Structure 1
């Protein structure tokens, strides 16, 4: 990314960088008027190793060939540990992704405005559905094998991000002087932290027992994913300790209240309240988000309070601890809970996607009615490290 090396201690430099490969691919597809053709053909390409469709533009074919495999530095032993971590904690991870990682995205005002740019008013849960499907693909045992859906999804998401950069810059709908490049390296790496470090934080708050090795492997898997989504590996923290520092500094630097963040959170709550049968337990959704992200952040996102449910949800660690003891009781208990976890995860995905396969199509335009306005100037148990001393309030 550029001629000058950067690292995660240079956030201003990271704000000036996008994703050169994906950006060049998208620019050429638009320049040649081939984006519509690309999207149509890509609907038939959704598995690793699948033959590319005839008629695919050359620039797209070259991009897909260049990004068809994980980075060469991947340690597959670590990835296997991460896979086992996913299996053991799949339903907990899905909960943390939905009720901690997604709201964390909404806590960054310029990210909330950017996410609002690609939300269809008729289907506001689309981005949540795409994120849910993407992470479920990642958690499957065959994620990096032939015939899997994960790698093609990563390739398409990377182009989706590049297309948003293309539209916002071309149409002058992004204050680049104040905010840097849209979906810049700092924001991409910050997003990686939300789906890794902040998910681990949420699991800890839920009382989930994680080993140091398991937590490190989970973060390592997201390092691999980040590289596949266009994060510059030279700028990404190499271990969980340095990732913690990046995450703390990124959030302290950017988080705050915004109307877009509150709206996106309301849509998230509404979506999951539809999933919960009846209405009696609807308040548990907001209460769980508040519990996982804290009162200050929850107030910024206009998450409603409920004295009853805000108190009740604090019993979650006790209940989950009981389930862990059942799981540890023997192979049968482990099999039952792992199977139940997979079932719950798949049910949640089905509810999010409404039975559809999300295609991650590259938008040919950002519709004005929801576009962005220029921004205003068990043993060895893992526990989160304390917040950096210079960031404490």
Structure 2
């Protein structure tokens, strides 16, 4: 599949028909509050839907209650094992590369500033981390698993933002296309899949081609469950590279919202890191993983740790060598990684399950001005020249 400016422009015209229709009906009938209240009790797959749930919501939940029929469970298990083996590194990439990448796309940064619920970085990061942990659990798609309800709610959250922006005439559709359009949804999928793999490679993590491809495949499944058109979404890592390269060339740049969100992210993790001596490592990691151009756009401060962080791949290489030579050490490091990820997630969530609710209004000051279009070790696919 090839991507061009023309094909990407088409993707900007489309949202998510099923979720959009559901949200529109809930608002039209004044049932959003009731829906949010009742859905707090729906957090696991297979649980009976509560009495009083609006019928349009009940139909949506039934229609989205299973993964796509093309899912390959053997590949998904390989993805889960890849996550277990690399969970700390993946969490690092999500926090210090994927989220800043979202912020370096100005209209996406503005969207993330649109709702009161997304204003606080701890909530935003907790939801992202919890969502990924739910996905990589053995029971993710079984009765009792938490991933499917989370995906259903995130899909409606996106649709509700589209609904508000259109209804309140706070989005220039002529210049920007549909808010949270297919191009942006696929772009987000790339940030949380291919960009994570890129970051692991930059950190010096050894990955098999099979493991990397399985991890990307898992996020293809996620994309499908979040309303991404499978006719347009990249199927391979090579296609993903072509899409991401062109997407970033078309849209990345500086913005006040992007800089503010990044500052909030840095402040959040500086609070998580004990003491103050290691605080600069947060900015240094973001700069190392996103590159100087993006880091400068996001106003990530330069620190004395910028050089120190470059030694991280060597340290991780030593740990991986120990892991490769000793099955006992491998199990111990995997367990330590699991506990570290849970500790980080617990500090962000404060031990609570995060709920994804449909916002009943957006921030009043929100506005988006028009913008112009612009088993072997795995290695990132080569950069492409946009056609």
Q: Which of the five TM-score ranges fits, normalised by the shorter chain?
A: over 0.9
8 Å contact kept, 2:43–2:150: yes
Residue correspondence of structure 1 range 190-201 to structure 2 within 5 A: 190-201=187-198
Residue correspondence of structure 1 range 129-148 to structure 2 within 5 A: 129-148=126-145
Aligned equivalents of 1:158, 1:59: Cα separation in 2:
15
Specify the alignment match of 1:107 in structure 2.
104
Aligned equivalents of 1:137, 1:266: Cα separation in 2:
28
Return the offset for 1:360. 0.5
Structure 2, gaps ≥5 residues long: none
Structure 2 CA distance for partners of 1:123 and 1:100, relative to 1, 3 Å:
closer
Aligned equivalents of 1:184, 1:356: Cα separation in 2:
31
Structure 2 CA distance for partners of 1:232 and 1:120, relative to 1, 3 Å:
closer
Aligned equivalents of 2:307, 2:2: Cα separation in 1:
42
Return the offset for 1:375. 4.1
Specify the alignment match of 1:363 in structure 2.
359
Do residues 175 (structure 1) and 187 (structure 2) align?
no
Return the offset for 1:119. 4.4
Return the offset for 1:292. 0.4
Do residues 36 (structure 1) and 48 (structure 2) align?
no
Aligned equivalents of 1:139, 1:121: Cα separation in 2:
24
Do residues 256 (structure 1) and 249 (structure 2) align?
no
Aligned equivalents of 1:194, 1:109: Cα separation in 2:
15
Deviations 1:195-228, CA, capped at 9 Å, x for gaps: 0111100000000001111111111100000000
Q: Secondary structure at the match of 2:301?
A: coil
Aligned equivalents of 1:137, 1:152: Cα separation in 2:
10
8 Å contact kept, 1:7–1:234: no
Specify the alignment match of 1:372 in structure 2.
367
Specify the alignment match of 2:16 in structure 1.
19
Aligned equivalents of 2:241, 2:121: Cα separation in 1:
31
Deviations 1:106-138, CA, capped at 9 Å, x for gaps: 010000000011245973432222112111211
- Once the two structures are overlaid, the 10-residue window that deviates more, 112-121 or 270-279, is 112-121
Q: TM-score, normalised by structure 1?
A: 0.95
Q: Secondary structure at the match of 1:18?
A: coil
8 Å contact kept, 1:8–1:237: no
1:127 to 119, 124, 132: 124
8 Å contact kept, 1:193–1:247: yes
8 Å contact kept, 1:116–1:372: no
Specify the alignment match of 1:3 in structure 2.
none
Number of aligned residues: 383
Residue correspondence of structure 1 range 1-393 to structure 2 within 5 A: 8-9=3-4, 10-120=7-117, 123-306=120-303, 308-369=304-365, 371-376=366-371, 379-390=375-386
Aligned equivalents of 1:181, 1:53: Cα separation in 2:
33
Aligned equivalents of 1:225, 1:131: Cα separation in 2:
13
Aligned equivalents of 2:114, 2:48: Cα separation in 1:
33
8 Å contact kept, 2:112–2:119: no
Aligned equivalents of 2:194, 2:119: Cα separation in 1:
33
Q: TM-score, normalised by structure 2?
A: 0.96
8 Å contact kept, 2:176–2:371: no
Aligned equivalents of 1:70, 1:362: Cα separation in 2:
22
